Amino acid sequence: MLAEKEECKRMHKRLTVVLALTLLTLLVHTLRAEHFNIRADDPVLIKQGDTYYLFCTGEGISVFSSKDMKKWESRKPVFAEAPAWAARLYPKSGNTELAPDISLHNGTYYLYYAVSTPGANNSTIAVATNRTLQPESPDFKWVDHGPIVESLAGKDMWNAIYPKLALDDQGTPWLALGSYWYGIKVAKLNADLTALAQPEQWSTIASRERNWKLEDTDPGDQLNSAVESPFIFRKNGQYYLFASWDRCCSGVSSTSKVVVGRSDKITGPYLDKEGQPMRFGGGSLVVGGNKSWPGVGHNSVYTLEGKDYLVFQGYDASDQGRSKLWIQEIHWDADGWPSADLQ
């Protein structure tokens, strides 16, 4: 009888340990990777005080806020109506501003965004600023500074969309941008971050193979020119260029994925794990889709509370391919290469 009681105690201890390990595993999984049931195209993130703010493509630029990066509350959009310059140049685009980027610089928040003609590279990147992101503050007011750079169909073989601000090690501001055609570029900005520096300084930092027979007005497809949505992240003295490959914005038919390369200079060259330049088609996989999430991408990267996070969109196969928000902790290997998964 005594032996049976001792065996029961040992079994109870083993079950307690197993249950504790299971709960810990679930907790770690929850902290490392989460998706959220909110529409999020081209999500970017920033924190002010104790509140996180999320900006996404949408009518007027969609805004969400959260205290814990888990429960998100919809806020009023940035623009109640299209900026006057956008309404004049792109009357068919309505009040849809694309691919925002949010940064804090010298006490001012800079919100870069694009307006474009769908399927063409008639596009313009502009910037708006605010002294605070807290709507209840008397200082809260978005001031639009208008266009910074534009691309024209038939003239330019790049697309002025997906702007992302990055500073080099000297504090000089640069704007990464681009989608399809001849790829992703970086351009130097002036000191107040609202215009290109003069004389202009440009570099091509990523591109993919493009059939020479394509018309100049043809953006390309999954087999031609499919690279877009750059994000430059500085870590351990190096610049990491994250970009999206392949087909986005096609619901369950999306095949997009996130790739990366790194460089000692913000203007490149950015090399992948195999030493291949991203300018000539190189790129190492960070995260790709699966059966449940066929396409993922259009990411941004942030260090928050001492951890690095990948913020991106994923197409939910269980919800007709709608784009949903993902926030995932990045794993860095011994050689300093980032990766993530959808587990």
93's CB contacts (< 8 A; 6+ apart) are 82, 86, 115, 116, 117, 118
Does the active-site annotation cover 192? no
C-alpha 318/C-alpha 169 separation (Å) is 44
The Cα angle at residue 58 between residues 89 and 168, in degrees rounded to 5 = 80
3-state secondary structure the chain: CHHHHHHHHHHHHHHHHHHHHHHHHHHHHHHHEEEEEEECCCCEEEEECCEEEEEECEECCEEEEECCCCCCEEECCCCCCCCHHHHHHCHHHCCEEEEEEEEEECCEEEEEEEEECCCCCCEEEEEEEECCCCCCCCCCCCEEEEEEEEECCCCCCCCCCCCEEEECCCCCEEEEECECCCCEEEEEECCCCCCECCCCCEEEEECCCCCCCCCCCCCCECCECCEEEEEEEEECCEEEEEEEECCCCCHHHCCCEEEEEEECCCCCCCECCCCCEHHHCCCEEEECCCCCCCCEEEEEEEEECCEEEEEEEEEEHHHCCEEEEEEEECEECCCCCEECCCC
User: Token pair for residue 51?
Assistant: 């509140």
C-alpha 295/C-alpha 293 separation (Å) is 6
Q: Which of 228, 246, 272, 316 is catalytic?
A: 228
Q: Which amino acid is at 223?
A: L
Based on C-alpha coordinates, what's the Rg of the chain? 22
Does the active-site annotation cover 274? no
Specify the residue for token string 């520096």.
197
Q: Which of 41, 42, 97, 316 is catalytic?
A: 42
Q: Which amino acid is at 135?
A: P
Enumerate the active-site residues.
Answer: 42, 228
